[in-house]
Amino acid sequence: MGCGTTSHGALLAAAPLASPRPRLLALSPPPSTPSIQIQNRLYSISQLPLLKARGKGRCEASLASNYTQTSEFADLDWENLGFGLVQTDYMYIAKCGLDGNFDKGEMVPFGPIEMNPSSGVLNYGQGLFEGLKAYRKSDGSILLFRPLENAMRMQTGAERMCMPAPPVEQFVDAVKQTVLANKRWVPPTGKGSLYIRPLLVGSGAVLGLAPAPEYTFIIFASPVGNYFKEGLAPINLIVEDKFHRAAPGGTGGVKTIGNYASVLMAQKIAKEKGYSDVLYLDAVHKKYLEEVSSCNIFVVKGNVISTPAIKGTILPGITRKSIIDVALSKGFQVEERLVSVDELLDADEVFCTGTAVVVSPVGSITYQGKRIEYAGNQGVGAVSQQLYTSLTSLQMGQVEDPMGWTVQLN
């Protein structure tokens, strides 16, 4: 049976091949009704749920660059943002049927969606997600960071999970639409970022094990502060040598939802013991570093920065990729290879990278009862600080972007 196809015997007998668009419910109406311009026509934001996509077929993305929105900041304590869900106003949703083509999608009020209890994602975990951020510049304009990379990574993951993926153009345009529709939730400069969560799930009903007959692409967003409560302060990791995040030939190299459920037990145990998170080893030799629960790991020794090579069990992080390029531009030698626990324990400095954490210095590592602490300015190593400052300054538009990584929305 080929990917993206489903045998009739795998479908629920009473279920149609393509169910109607889910009913979407608003949790609460937005407190104001700003206007938004779509393709040179001005609408009230309250009218947006009534704007239906004109038919289905290959993506003909509505030009999100034509959006303009007038709104104030949301009523939120911007000084004390954590990393948790804050319900914003709107989300994007698009559908894909058996023909493998996504409809144009639409903006709808943020809220619950209906889903068949026999959907592919609920029964067989057929789902992917992405994560990226939008930042507000001091002049009020908004920057996205490398959305094209997220779009391409979702396509890679979708192929591995036997799912159709939205075209790159539709993905990027949908991200832009979602950010602009929720513009008042983008934190003031220096107060955080708008975390954007694209989801691709098998929403069609199946009973036997098979790819779903229908897929739903959703994007929602939430303003966030620091992922770790420590902020840019050292975190404390424990090396896990019993549980494993991924194995060769599995799905560790793509951002499928099941990768994250599998780390919850080890993470729970670690946090109960006072650690910030867990660092996993390879499942074969049990001595080479892989990654932390939701971020990549880097080890510094002198002028050399080493990180585990991408070999199918490690997620190719976009922040990881960016930090490597920034480090090279600063004159560091960067090595992508097998990195052993012994090297970790002998390192001058260790840090993690990811969309949520950006760069997070590691203050201590505990392995088989032995604790190693890393020196630095209050636990923050000089290399971590330099790379964090360089990358965040670029992401927030405080310096020129020679890499061409940022996308300005307005």
Catalytic residues: 255
How far apart CA 291 and CA 275 sit, in angstroms, is 16
Listed residue (61, 224, 51) closest to 134, CA to CA? 224
Per-residue tokens: 23 = 């009913």
Contact of 31 with 21, CB cutoff 8 Å: no
Contact of 336 with 307, CB cutoff 8 Å: yes
Say how many CA atoms lie within 13 Å of 349 toward its Cβ. Answer: 25
